[in-house]
Amino acid sequence: MPFIKTRDIVILHGARQVGKTSIMFYLLDKLKKEKETTFFIDLEDSRLVRILDGGVDEFIKYLQEEGVDFGKLSSKNKKVFVFIDEIQYLQNPSSFLKLLADHHPEIKIITSGSSSFNIKSKFKDSLVGRTVNFDIYNLSFIEFLQFNEYFFNPNQALTEKKTDELKKKFVEYLLFGGYPKIVLTPSVEMKEKYLQQIIDTYIKKDVRDLADIKDINKFNRLMEILAAQSGQLLNVVELSNTIGIAKQTVESYLFILEQTYIIKLLRPHSSNLRAELTKMPKIFFFDTGLMQMLWMKQLQKDVIGSVFETGIFCELVKKYGIDKVYFWRTADKKEIDFVLKNGKKLLPIEAKYNFAQFDDTAIKYFLDKYKQKDYHIVSIKGEKKIDIAVYPWEL
């Protein structure tokens, strides 16, 4: 909202079906109530793609044909707010947006794209300083509760009854994931069907059309293997041998999956930057429901360890930002699930489904090595015996 009336081009990046279009419609309605002139363009319509690919003059002509009176707007010192959905379908969105930003301050652009890799390859340096970018993820646990109309005040002390209810809700969140449509669908069978549709649409639209991947079967196989490995170290050579494709191809596929917000390759924290960049990353999915559908072909009834760790990763990213989250591992295999980095302050976090599974050996070593005091164990099962033990909603 603070950027809605600035000269910046606002860009919403995110996976399919996470709610980018809904956010745009929310902003659109808000502006309409303020009597502003608004316009919505969905580039899933190829006719509109042709108009915008025709250049800025063609676009202006189209807006005028649709009733936008630029003379009237200018006399009242007003703007037209144009929302463009799925901008990655344009041949050269960078040039188009640059010309609009530089020569038509009366047009405010708010745009979205589900294919970050495609947008970023098309958005050249010419847009530097002209855009404000937002990463849109699927629902956080707090948003999941809101979508379920479940009241929760994180600033209030909780009764045992409320805590037990929240634990059950978090299990539900882990089992089904945070895609808005999935959360709002009551039937497990329908949730599975909708999740499969998200997977199929992603393969057809983002992968086949935009990434130009020829061997879709091997790409599918890679996704299935990665889903089974969420939360584990990523070995590209091993993946290459398992699937039977070149190492460079695996790296290319991983890049596409990461840039389309399906996975994240989490880097290890190290005091030596060179070591940090060369050590093996961990692989995480951004949605636990999608991960389980790819891995086991159906949603599960019980939470397994890798799903819990993936869910905690998702919560940390949504709350603190992707650039603040790392993991830590030594050559002799001492490992900490997550490290939150805030300047010189480091907060190690162990994610265990049951508090009783926690072993403090690695944590003690880490705290001593980096001269830190605080840490967290996050869980939803077992007894919360010590102060540093937290539930996921307390992170």
Query: Residues 71-117: pLDDT tens digits?
Result: 999 899 899 999 999 888 888 888 898 889 889 999 999 999 876 55
- Residue-wise pLDDT for 205-218, tens only, equals 778 776 778 788 99
Q: What is the DSSP letter of 96?
A: H
Instruction: Let me know whether 164 and 100 are in one domain.
Output: no
Instruction: Let me know whether 59 and 108 are in one domain.
Output: yes
Instruction: Let me know whether 132 and 147 are in one domain.
Output: no
In a domain, 255, yes or no: yes
Domain limit, last residue, from 73, 105, 136:
136
Integer Cα distance of 299 and 306 in angstroms = 14
Look at the chain and report how many structural domains it folds into.
2
Vertex 367, ends 266 and 360: CA angle to 5°? 85
Vertex 111, ends 22 and 122: CA angle to 5°? 135
Query: What pLDDT, on the 0 to 100 scale, is given for residue 115?
Result: 61
Residue pair 336/348 in contact (Cβ under 8 Å)? The answer is yes
Instruction: Let me know whether 88 and 227 are in one domain.
Output: no
In a domain, 3, yes or no: no
Please list the residues that pair with 327 across neighbouring strands: 268
Please list the residues that pair with 283 across neighbouring strands: 265
**pTM of the model as a whole:** 0.90
Query: What pLDDT, on the 0 to 100 scale, is given for residue 40?
Result: 97
Name every residue whose Cβ is closer than 8 Å to that of residue 56 and which is 6 or more positions away in sequence: 96, 99, 100, 103, 104
331 phi and psi angles, rounded to 5 deg: -60, -30
Instruction: Give the structural domain span for 247.
Output: 143-394
Query: Which CATH number characterizes residue 19's domain?
Result: 3.40.50.300
Query: What pLDDT, on the 0 to 100 scale, is given for residue 275?
Result: 66
Instruction: Let me know whether 67 and 214 are in one domain.
Output: no
Instruction: Tell me which H or E stretch contains 283.
Output: strand 282-285
Q: Which of 191, 192, 256 is nearest to 218 (CA)?
A: 256
Integer Cα distance of 395 and 382 in angstroms = 17
Question: What is the chain's pLDDT, residue by residue, as a tens digit (395 residues)?
Answer: 999 989 899 999 998 899 999 999 999 999 999 999 999 999 999 999 999 999 999 999 999 999 999 999 989 989 999 999 988 888 888 889 888 988 999 999 999 987 655 555 555 555 667 889 899 999 999 999 999 999 999 888 899 999 999 999 999 999 999 999 999 999 999 999 999 999 998 887 778 776 778 788 999 999 999 999 999 999 999 999 999 999 999 998 998 898 889 999 999 998 776 666 558 899 999 999 999 999 999 999 999 889 999 999 999 999 999 999 999 998 888 899 999 998 889 999 999 999 999 999 999 999 999 999 999 999 999 988 888 999 999 99
Bridge-based pairing of strands 282-285 and 263-266 is antiparallel
Query: What pLDDT, on the 0 to 100 scale, is given for residue 116?
Result: 57
Domain limit, last residue, from 81, 111, 136:
136
Instruction: Let me know whether 130 and 154 are in one domain.
Output: no
DSSP code per residue over 170-193: HHHHHHH---HHHHH---HHHHHH
In a domain, 2, yes or no: no
Q: Which of 147, 194, 178, 198 is nearest to 16 (CA)?
A: 198
Query: What pLDDT, on the 0 to 100 scale, is given for residue 290?
Result: 95
Query: What pLDDT, on the 0 to 100 scale, is given for residue 122?
Result: 54
In a domain, 4, yes or no: no
Count Cβ atoms below 10 Å from residue 14 Cβ, excluding itself: 21
Instruction: Let me know whether 328 and 244 are in one domain.
Output: yes
In a domain, 1, yes or no: no
Query: What pLDDT, on the 0 to 100 scale, is given for residue 94?
Result: 83
In a domain, 177, yes or no: yes
Domain limit, last residue, from 136, 158, 173:
136
Q: Sign of dihedral through CA atoms 350, 356, 361, 365? A: positive
Integer Cα distance of 177 and 144 in angstroms = 9
Instruction: Let me know whether 377 and 234 are in one domain.
Output: yes
- Residue-wise pLDDT for 186-199, tens only, equals 999 999 999 999 99
In a domain, 19, yes or no: yes
What percent of the chain lies above the pLDDT cut of 90? 73
Instruction: Let me know whether 248 and 305 are in one domain.
Output: yes
- Provide the 3-class DSSP secondary structure of residue 215: coil
Instruction: Let me know whether 151 and 108 are in one domain.
Output: no
Which one-letter amino acid corresponds to residue 134?
F
Query: What pLDDT, on the 0 to 100 scale, is given for residue 305?
Result: 84
In a domain, 154, yes or no: yes
Instruction: Let me know whether 17 and 156 are in one domain.
Output: no
Instruction: Let me know whether 186 and 112 are in one domain.
Output: no
Vertex 23, ends 79 and 205: CA angle to 5°? 105
